[in-house]
Amino acid sequence: MKDILFEKIKKLLESKQFNKIKKILSELHPADIVYYINRLDSDNQILLFAMLDESTASDVLSDLHDDVRELIIESINTNRLTKIIDEMESDDAADIISELDEDDTKKILESIDLEDSENIRKLLKYDEDSAGGLMQTEIIAVSAQSKRDKLIEDIRKNREKVENIHYVYVVDELNRLLGLLEIASLLFADENDTAKDLVEDDIFYVRFDEDQEQVANIFRKYDLISLPVVDYENHLLGRITVDDVIDVIDEEASEDAYKMVGLDSDDKVFTSPLESVKKRLPWLVLNLFTAILVSTVVGFFQGSIEKLSVLAVLMPIVAGLGGNAGIQTLTVITRGIAMGEMTLQNTWKAITKEVSVGLVNGILIGASASLVAYLLKGDIRIGIVLGVAMIINMFVAGLMGSLIPVIMRSLKIDPALASSIIITMLTDICGYASFLGLATIFLLH
C-alpha cells in the first residue's frame, strides 16, 4: 500500500502535478509525510516540504532525520520558519532553535508569541540530555482550591493548547506541585469537591537536572506515560511524555552499540562520507597503535617463527577465537550494566561466571583445535601447545571482558567505552604470547 503511494508521489513530483500532491499530503498523517520526505532526494525533499501548511510542517519538521532537517531549515525563509516554530510544542521548538545560528534565533524569538518565546528561552537553558531538555511546558496546572466546575472549565480552556492531556497537575498558590488529577475522577466528582479532595499525591516527579538516562529508567520501572518536572523548590516547570522517552531509549541503545565499536553517535548511515572519515579516524589511529603493540609482542618471537613457520599459520586461530569470546563477554556485561541488572552486590558473581564459562569453553574448543592441528600437521606436540594457549586465552577473554567494564564503571567511565578494540588488543597479545611462548619453550628448547 504505502510504497504504491510513494511511487505515485514521486511520479507526480516528476510531472509537476503539485495540486494532486497537496491533496494526497492533506490526507496523510504527519508521521507518514516524514517517512516519505526522508526517502526522497534532496531537491524533492525541499519541494514537498514547501507544499505543507504551517501546522503540518511543524509536526513534520521535528521528526525528520537530522541531515534532512538541516537541509530544509536552510532552504526556507525565516518568516515561514517562524510561523512553523510558532505552531510547535515548546520542547520541539527549543530543539530546532538550539540548532540555529544566533541571528535567526533572535529574529524568531522576537517574532513569535511572547509567552511561547519566554518558555522557549527558558528551555534553551537546560542541558539537552537532562529532564529539563526533554520536557515541554505545555501542561494544565490547576489550583488545589478550585472546585469541580472550575476545574472542568480550566481543562476546557487549555484543551486546544495541550496535546495528549493524560493528567492535570495540581499546584498550590506558589505553583508548587502537590500531585495529579485523573480526568476520569472529575466524571465522578461532587460539585463541591476541590482539586485537593481529588488529588493523587503519591506521585513520581523529577528535578530538571536529572539525567535523561535516569528519566528513562524511572519511566521503565514505574510504567509511566508522563512525568512532571520541578525545580529545586518543587515549582512545577513542565512534563515529560513517554514518546520523548522512547526516543531517548532508542538513542541510548544506539549509543551503547556504537561505543562498543568506537563509533561516534552522530555517525549515521547518511552522515556525509567526509564527516564519517573524520569521526572514525582518531579511533583507527588508536587501533593502529594497539595493532603495533600486538605486532611488537609477536616480534619477540620472530626467532621461533623463523625456526618453525607453522606457528605463524596457526597463531591466528588462538587470537581470533579469544577476541570473539572476549567481545561476547563484554556485550553480556555492558548490556547487563545498561539494563540495571548488575549491581555492586553481584559483580563478583558475574565475573566468576564469565571466567568459568571462558575456561570451560576454552577447554572444549582448545581440545578440538588440538585434534584438528594434530590431524592437519601430524604433530601431537604442536596440537597440545595450541590447545593450552587457547584455554589460557579464553580464560583471559572471560576475565578481561567482564573485569574491564566493571572497573570502568567504578571509575565513573561509561563501561560501553571498554570497546572491542581494547578487548581484542588484550586477547591478541595474550593469544600470540601464550601460543608462541609455549611453543618456544616446549617445541624449540
Per CB under 8 A, contacts with its own copies among 80-109 are none
Which region, judged by CB under 8 A, interacts with its own copies, from 80-88, 111-119, 125-133, 284-292? 284-292
Q: Among 12, 71, 291, 417, which residue sits at the site for its own copies (rule: CB under 8 A)?
A: 291
Q: Among 325, 388, 389, 439, which residue sits at the site for its own copies (rule: CB under 8 A)?
A: 325
Find out whether 71 and 83 touch, Cβ atoms under 8 Å: no
Residues 400-439 that bind its own copies (CB under 8 A): 420-421, 424, 428, 432
Using CB under 8 A as the binding rule, whether residue 203 contacts its own copies is answered as no
Closest CB to its own copies among residues 174, 285: 285
Q: Among 60, 85, 177, 357, which residue sits at the site for its own copies (rule: CB under 8 A)?
A: 357
3-class DSSP assignment, residue 374: helix
Residue with cell 617445541: 443
Using CB under 8 A as the binding rule, whether residue 332 contacts its own copies is answered as yes
Q: How many CB atoms lie within 10 A of CB 206?
A: 21
Which region, judged by CB under 8 A, interacts with its own copies, from 97-105, 110-118, 191-199, 306-314? 306-314
Residues 229-248 that bind its own copies (CB under 8 A): 241-243, 245-246
User: What does residue 305 show for φ and ψ, rounded to 5 degrees?
Assistant: -65, -40
Residues 251-256: contacts with CB under 8 Å, at least 24 apart: 252/213, 252/216, 252/338, 255/416, 256/334, 256/335, 256/338, 256/416
Question: Least distance (Å) from its own copies to the CB of residue 324?
Answer: 5
Residues 252-271 that bind its own copies (CB under 8 A): 253-254, 256-258, 260-263, 267-270
Distance of alpha carbon 298 from alpha carbon 284, whole angstroms: 21
Question: Least distance (Å) from its own copies to the CB of residue 242?
Answer: 5
Q: For 72-176, where are the E strands, in sequence order?
A: 141-143, 167-171
Question: Least distance (Å) from its own copies to the CB of residue 111?
Answer: 28
135-172 CB burial, b ≥16 within 10 A, e <16 = bbbbbbbbbbebbbeebbebbeebeeebeeeebbbbbe
Using CB under 8 A as the binding rule, whether residue 220 contacts its own copies is answered as yes
Distance of alpha carbon 226 from alpha carbon 189, whole angstroms: 23
Which region, judged by CB under 8 A, interacts with its own copies, from 18-26, 190-198, 214-222, 232-240? 214-222
Residues 151-170 that bind its own copies (CB under 8 A): 152, 155-156, 159, 164-166
**How many residues contact its own copies, by CB under 8 A?**
110
Q: Among 118, 127, 250, 266, which residue sits at the site for its own copies (rule: CB under 8 A)?
A: 250
Q: Among 129, 213, 336, 437, which residue sits at the site for its own copies (rule: CB under 8 A)?
A: 336
Tell me the per-residue interface mask from 363 to 402 with its own copies, x by CB under 8 A, - otherwise. Answer: -xx--xx--x------------------------------
Q: Among 39, 80, 122, 207, which residue sits at the site for its own copies (rule: CB under 8 A)?
A: 39
- Of how many residues is the chain composed? 445
Instruction: Cell numbers for 190, please give them.
Output: 461532587
Closest CA to 144 of 200, 190, 207: 200
Distance of alpha carbon 139 from alpha carbon 162, whole angstroms: 6
Using CB under 8 A as the binding rule, whether residue 178 contacts its own copies is answered as no
The secondary structure of 204-264 as a DSSP string is --EETTSBHHHHHHHHHHHT-SEEEEE-TT-BEEEEEEHHHHHHHHHHHHHHHHHHHTT--
Using CB under 8 A as the binding rule, whether residue 55 contacts its own copies is answered as no
Closest CB to its own copies among residues 111, 331: 331
Closest CB to its own copies among residues 375, 411: 375
